[in-house]
Structure 1
Amino acid sequence: MKLTNKTWIYLWEEWAKPILVAVLLALLIRTFIAQPFKIPSSSMYPTLKIGDRIFVNKFIYGAKVPFTGIKLPKLRDPKLGDIVVFLSPIEKKKYLVKRYIAGEGDTIRITDGELFINGKAIQGSPFNKFFYYGRGEFGVENKVITVPEGSFYALGDNSANSLDSRYW
Structure 2
Amino acid sequence: MEARLFWIGIAMFAYAWFTKRWTASGRLDDKLRASLWHALFLGLAGFSVTLIAVLSVESRLKFVGASAGSLSWREVVAGFVGGSLLGAFGLWRAYSSAEGAEKRRHFLNEDLEWAETVYSAVILASLLMYFLVQAFKIPSGSMESTLRIGDHLFVNKFVYGVRIPFTDKRVLRMKPVAAGDIVVFRFPTDDPESQHCGGTQFGKDFIKRVVAVSGDTLEIKNGVLVRNGTALGKEPFTQFVDSFRGDAPALAPPPALYQELWAGGALDTKLGDSMKDHFGPVKVPAGSYFMMGDNRDRSCDSRFWGPVHEKYVKGKAWVIYWPPNRMGAI
**Bucket of the pairwise TM-score, normalised by the shorter protein:** 0.7 to 0.9
1:155 aligns with 2:298: no
Which of 126, 139, 155 is the aligned partner of 2:237? Answer: 126
Query: Structure 2 regions of 5+ residues with no counterpart?
Result: 1-98, 189-195, 247-272, 306-330
- Of Structure 1 and Structure 2, the greater strand share is in 1
Which of structures 1 and 2 has the bigger CA Rg?
Answer: 2
Note the 1:40-55 alignment, pairs <5 A: 40-55=139-154
1:39 aligns with 2:39: no
Partner residue of 2:214? 104
Q: Give the Cα separation in 2 of the matches to 1:46 and 1:33.
A: 27
Contact 1:109–1:138 (8 Å) recurs in 2: no
Question: TM-score, normalising length from structure 2?
Answer: 0.43
- Offset of residue 137 of structure 1: 5.0
Partner residue of 1:88? 187
Q: Give the Cα separation in 2 of the matches to 1:104 and 1:19.
A: 43
The amino acid of 1:46's aligned partner reads: S
- Offset of residue 101 of structure 1: 0.8
- Offset of residue 41 of structure 1: 0.8
Which of 128, 140, 144 is the aligned partner of 2:281? Answer: 144
Identity of matched residues, %: 40
Q: Give the Cα separation in 2 of the matches to 1:117 and 1:41.
A: 27
Question: TM-score, normalising length from structure 1?
Answer: 0.77
Query: How many residues are paired up?
Result: 164
- Of Structure 1 and Structure 2, the greater helix share is in 2
The amino acid of 2:169's aligned partner reads: K
Q: Give the Cα separation in 2 of the matches to 1:162 and 1:138.
A: 9
Q: Give the Cα separation in 1 of the matches to 2:222 and 2:277.
A: 11
- Offset of residue 46 of structure 1: 0.6
Q: Cα–Cα, structure 1 residues 11 and 147, in superposed 2: closer, same or farther, change >3 Å?
A: closer
Which sits farther off after the overlay, 83-92 or 57-66?
A: 57-66
- Offset of residue 21 of structure 1: 3.2
Deviations 1:1-22 (A, max 9, x none): 747x9xx989978x76555433
Q: Give the Cα separation in 2 of the matches to 1:11 and 1:41.
A: 42
Q: Cα–Cα, structure 1 residues 149 and 25, in superposed 2: closer, same or farther, change >3 Å?
A: same
Partner residue of 1:57? 156
* RMSD of aligned Cα (Å): 3.1
1:25 aligns with 2:124: yes
The amino acid of 1:99's aligned partner reads: R
2:202 is paired with a residue whose SS is coil
Q: Cα–Cα, structure 1 residues 44 and 110, in superposed 2: closer, same or farther, change >3 Å?
A: same
Contact 1:109–1:116 (8 Å) recurs in 2: yes
